[in-house]
Amino acid sequence: MPDAVFSLASITAMSAWVGLAVAALLTPGTARRGLLWLCGRGVPLALALAYVAALWRYWGTAPGGGFSSLAAVGVLFSVPGKVLGAWLHFLAFDLLVGRWLVDHALTSGQSRMPLIVALPATFLYGPLGVLLYVAAQGVCGRLRAAPAQPLVQGQPLPGGCTGSQRRSTAAKVSSSKGLDR
């Protein structure tokens, strides 16, 4: 039974990660809201319920196990049902973090580009993905804050992480320097 739950949970979580990535690309609307809720709230809640069920089912099955030492944690993880619980825990929490990353990137003024690296890294390595996202958002923010240059032969300005931000900045620079007349 633990192997079947493991497989189902893993496939479900992987599908939800793909859904989060797709939702980040969609324009605002009902489809994006629904996909974000399903993949970033519904699936993690279902995984949390499966975790609680595994916790209840395998409670007391690892005598000597606990959290007081590394050796005691090793005893916990010597029981496949306990490993399943830990896996469900990771899947649920990492998906919630993935949803947070997407929500943050979709807020006004944020770039979605860091999600290209951050979502797979968070899926595979959890905290590393969050660190990469925060670092990438910092780089994108600094690039957006860089002094703007006027357009040269129709090329977009350096400095923004998205084309629309560059075009908007270019229009402001052209207008402020009288280049649009």
Residue 84 has pLDDT above 80, yes or no: yes
Express as a percent the part of the chain with pLDDT over 90.
61
Q: What is the pLDDT of residue 76?
A: 87
Residue 96 has pLDDT above 80, yes or no: yes
Of the two residues 20 and 139, the one the predictor is more confident about is: 20
Long-range contact set of residues 83-89: C-beta below 8 Å, sequence gap at least 24: 83/2, 84/2, 84/5, 84/6, 84/54, 84/58, 85/51, 85/54, 85/55, 85/58, 87/6, 87/9, 87/10, 88/5, 88/9, 88/47, 88/48, 88/50, 88/51, 88/54, 89/51
The reported pTM is 0.73
Q: How many CB atoms lie within 10 A of CB 8?
A: 11
Residue 174 pLDDT level (bands cut at 50, 70, 90)? very low
Q: What is the pLDDT of residue 143?
A: 61
Domain boundaries along the sequence of the chain:
2-135, 149-181
- Residue range 85-110: average pLDDT? 92
* 57, 95, 147, 172 from 2: Cα distances, Å: 11, 21, 57, 59
- Residue range 75-102: average pLDDT? 94
- Residue range 25-38: average pLDDT? 94
Residue 1 pLDDT level (bands cut at 50, 70, 90)? confident
Residue 166 pLDDT level (bands cut at 50, 70, 90)? very low
- Residue range 99-103: average pLDDT? 94
Q: What's the mean pLDDT when you consider all of the chain?
A: 83
The tens digit of pLDDT for each residue in 67-79 reads 999 999 999 889 8
Residue 177 has pLDDT above 60, yes or no: no
- Residue range 115-144: average pLDDT? 88
Instruction: Say which residues have a Cβ less than 8 Å from residue 70's Cβ, sequence separation at least 6.
Output: none
Burial class (CB in 10 A: 0-12, 13-18, 19+), 133: buried
